[in-house]
Chains A and B, each alone.
Chain A
Amino acid sequence: MGRDLRIINHPALGARTEKRVVFSFDGREIEGIEGEPIAVALYAAGIRKLGAHEYTGEPRGLFCGIGHCFGCRVTVDGEPNVRSCIAPLRAGMEVQSQGKFPGEPVAWQAPEQTRQRPEEPPAPRRHVDVVVIGGGPAGLSAALAAANQGAKVMVVDEQHELGGRLLSQVHENPLRKGEWFNGPRIAADLAENLAAAGVEFRRETQAWGVWPRWLVSITGPGAEDGESVEASAVIVATGAAQACQPFPGWTLPGVISVGAAQTMMHRFRLRPGHRCLVVGADPLALAVASELATLGSEVLSAVLPPPGPAAGELAEPKEAITSVSRLADMAPSPFLRGAGRVVSRAAAAGAMSAMLFPKQGIKVQGVPLALRRCIVRAVGDEEVKGAVVADLTADGKAVTGSETTVDVDSICVSGDLYPLVEALEMTGQCAFAYVEALGGRVPLYGPDLRTGSSAGGPGNDGAQGSGLFVAGSASGVEGAQVAMAQGRLAGLGAAAFAGRVAPSELVGMLEQAARDVATARREAFLTFRPGIPEGRDFMARHWLA
């Protein structure tokens, strides 16, 4: 691993302009780029092991890339357990790995710092019309829509840079080759408009509590100590998370989620490795495989997760072949369309039995799709040095004796995307339903994306609303365009709830915004899950029930 993983000239993002800074890791001087996550700077310098597990001493490192998994925790300038995958690098930082705990201390010692109980009174509470939690496509669009109605809006986002998933979404337009969906550009434009509209941003700030009607408690560099903000309405736009497929060795440094790979490549212009294995055959996994190849990494193949109760049918070749075949028409990218066509032809030839699907896989633009192979385990002591793969029978049993070791330095693993709804759940004020088509457990919501409690029945309570809204993938996993349209709808709803929209105009505006969501959904070129319309219909029926 080394510095040559940095992408010098990204096909969509162009050449880099950056400020190099020096920091230290375990006492060693290292150069990185100001503002990029600490873990990315270390990764680029060839350092992937960020510490040892506290109980077992096993190596650990960056995995999710979005601040969820805490695998990348390090000590920064004395503060332990900082998530280095999102903490921005600054010049002169002293970063230290964290090791295994001793069983018993040598001596019980007084801690170095002895701070006194805080004497100052709690911070005074500000009131705004709308707090938006999450500064991704949905959240930024919601904030802008609400601010455009004159609402006083605050956006809280965990990251250093606003934009969320937009920041790592760079796809080529399937209809016009050479034209890219440039998420970072869209995010920058939105942020600029928001600043002009007077929206208050809290970057690197996390909402740790949402208390009914409504108090949002926040922490992080962008918040005062102990700060909570009162709001008439809250919009939860926390997006989706990925439940990656576990396999033995998936905690080794060098195994990362496909989401992390995408963030690394398109946001921080860093390839995850020279020789990569992709685990999973869903659109996101295949898109990452293709992007890795485009950016110059060798993709050994895309294989399935190991069979077993943790993977379920995701590990069955039959299911994988059917699901990839479906991509033939859905066409999120030329690569995926191609993959879909090639695989569906193979499947047709094999009468869908999957028995005739070649074990080595079928090459699509240089990437072998090995849909009859699974990963058995990652290999390596301190970091990934290879992977053991095995053949699968058509119904997803590993063939004994078929294990072979492949030489890879990086493994990108995929899994289901599911709505991230914890901020809604903790309020105790939302009714939820499990809707497979929307990605899992989602809040019930009304036509303007207001949520409601079942205490009075979603219909009853919803008629008046509590002021808690949801937008984007937190309401059901869809792409950025749908999320932005949903954000505009929820932003309007929240501004209205806060009394910032003239009632005479509201109905027409909401109807228009709802039509825009439907249009965006129809025209979306990346659909994560089949059955989205049915899922949304389910929601409409249950909201009124």
Chain B
Amino acid sequence: MESPYICRCERITLEDVLSAVRGGATSVDGVKRRTRAGMGPCQGKTCSRIIARIIAAETAMSREEVLPARVRPPLRPLTLRELALAGSEPSDMLAVPPPVSAPPAFGLLADAGDANDAGRPDGTVVHGAMAGEGSLAERSYEFVVIGGGAVGSSITYHLARAGRDVALLEANDLATGTSGATQAWVWVHSKTPRYYMELNWRGARRYPGLSEELGIDLEYRRTGGMVGLFTQEEVDASRRMMESNQAAGVEIHLLTREEALSMEPRLSPEILAATYSPVDGNVNPFRVVQGFAGKAASLGARIHLRTAVKALEPDDGGSASGPSPGGNRVNRSGWLVRTNRGALRCRTLVIAAGFYTPSVARLAGVDVPVQPVRGQVLLTEAMPPTVRFTHQGVRQNPTGQVMLGYLSENAGFDKSTTLSGLSQVADWAIHYMPSFAETKVIHAFSGLRPMPKDKLSILSWARRDPPLFVAVTHSGITLSPVIGELVSEALMKQADGGAEAGVPPAGLEPYDLRRFAAK
């Protein structure tokens, strides 16, 4: 029998939903992240309950255990102009108890803010390749990576690609942190300082071949990137940025108002100028994470979802690493990683837990200066192709929906969408592309991003023995391919006795943790 559509809006079939469940989805949001089911104009009203029924039928879960999609405003579509006018909550409304789903300050367990993604905490319900069934066999790995976002799954993939023995632990589901709440630009040209821009450029250069390499269409499009400039100060700053970045060989143009408007007619006629570079683009972040993790799994990596780290203990006596492939030197020590599903051991541990990195690293006695910053993002109804380039704040998805967002808020671990936040984004969007005023918003989401103290990546050894590496960054989507490449090389070199765990790996010198101690 042919496979019926389940999500009528996005034309997602029963077979698509079943393969998402086989891939580890145990919640309606888990299926949504893997398939887009529920992302269309009906906002999941038609398919969510059917999807919950399918999950229950395909797993050992009861209907009440299958968590529904998280509900976010707008409950009904409204125009950007209306949203811009909606303003903010009166200040006396802020004195209300936190939402029921407010996450604890640091949640090592599946955080309560993502309760909808958590599934059963014992992880027994998942089946298929990316699983973790029952308790973890107390097995030993050469490498364990903590964090199933773009960065962690890329490192895992690059290790698996080199034939190494690696497991990925994810407290929740794949792409439930920043990677699942990003606008997913592959962005290069306006980043500073120059060496950081170059690292991003290396990341962007990996993307064109990555879909084929991972065997999944990442929906990567090198659209070119543009930044509309509204003030003379912005123009001057952009000119300085360009001089520096062009020296590294990246093609960047400063467009006149007329040039910019002819290339991107939606831009506000009030701009003075724009920067443009053909190297920027955008991608589907869910597919990036699924691509890395799925390919890693097919190469032999173990992906343990819903596996939350509780303790990290240096492990001297136990059965530390087996023989390492390059192995002229076998370390005696390693790590004992205790989780909600039992313990496992490894020789080298990598923490790539995004904005939760500080709390995970603290379990190993390491301080990592990273704070979460919140972004709120709007999605419009689908339109025929109308935004040509990727902008800082605007991109059009392959589905025709336009994604708008520019906020960077300090809200702790609160992932709420707020009236004032959504309204500010709408106001900014109309400022940037005024013709969107009458376009309707159909979805909004809010996500936290890890922001290192100096805004630059942290890709660094954090302990020498047993070896501990920390990989956390802003711009994780752009950077994940190159981080996976460079970090896996460093990890393998150290494991094979070719480098000390304290010495910054080649190419990663600016991203060492010790730069914070020095100041």
Q: Which residues of A contact B (CB under 8 A)?
A: 53-56, 58, 60, 63-64, 68-71, 73, 79-81, 101-105, 108-111, 113-118, 120, 122-123, 125, 158, 206-213, 215, 217, 219-220, 225-228, 230, 241, 243-244, 246-251, 306, 308-312, 376-377, 398, 415-416, 418, 422-423, 425-431, 433-434, 436, 440-441, 453-456, 461
Contacts and interface: CB of A to CB of B under 8 A. Distances in A.
B158 interface: no
A114 B269 CA distance: 10
B85 A123 contact: yes
B49 A118 contact: no
Given A226-B82, A422-B71, A376 B1 contact: yes
Contact of B82 (A111, A225, A309, A311): A225
Contacts of A122: 85-87
Given A64-B46, A122-B86, A225-B81, A309 B58 contact: yes
Given A69-B46, A243-B49, A217 B86 contact: yes
**What are the 9 closest A-B residue pairs judged by CB atoms, nearest first?**
A428-B99, A226-B85, A434-B64, A110-B265, A122-B87, A425-B71, A243-B49, A309-B57, A206-B76
Chain B CB within 10 Å, residue with most, of A81, A105, A207, A431: A81
Contacts of A220: 76
B431 interface: yes
B45 interface: yes
B9 A70 contact: yes
- Give the interface size bracket for B toward A: 35 or more
B10 to A, nearest CB: 8
Interface of B: 1-6, 8-11, 14, 18, 40-42, 45-46, 48-50, 53-54, 56-58, 63-64, 68, 70-79, 81-87, 89-90, 93, 96-102, 261, 263-266, 269, 381-386, 388, 399-400, 416, 419, 427, 430-431, 434-435, 437-438, 440
Nearest to A79: B438
Given A228-B86, A428-B101, 5 more contacts: A63-B46, A68-B45, A113-B435, A219-B78, A426-B73
Contacts of B83: 226
Contacts of B97: 429, 453, 455-456, 461
A230 to B, nearest CB: 7
A530 to B, nearest CB: 16
A310 B71 contact: no
Contacts of B416: 428
A231 B33 CA distance: 36
A398 B1 CA distance: 10
Chain B at the A interface: SS class: loop
A222 to B, nearest CB: 13
Contacts of B68: 425, 441
B411 to A, nearest CB: 14
A454 B115 CA distance: 14
Nearest to A60: B8
A310 B72 contact: no
A211 B427 CA distance: 20
Contact of B84 (A81, A117, A456): A117
Chain A CB within 10 Å, residue with most, of B76, B85, B265, B440: B76
A306 B263 CA distance: 51
A416 to B, nearest CB: 7
B41 A73 contact: yes
B49 A117 contact: no
Given A118-B430, A206-B76, A71 B14 contact: no
B242 to A, nearest CB: 24
Contact of B49 (A377, A416, A455): A416
A416 B14 CA distance: 18
A230 B90 contact: yes
Contacts of B86: 122, 209, 217, 226-228
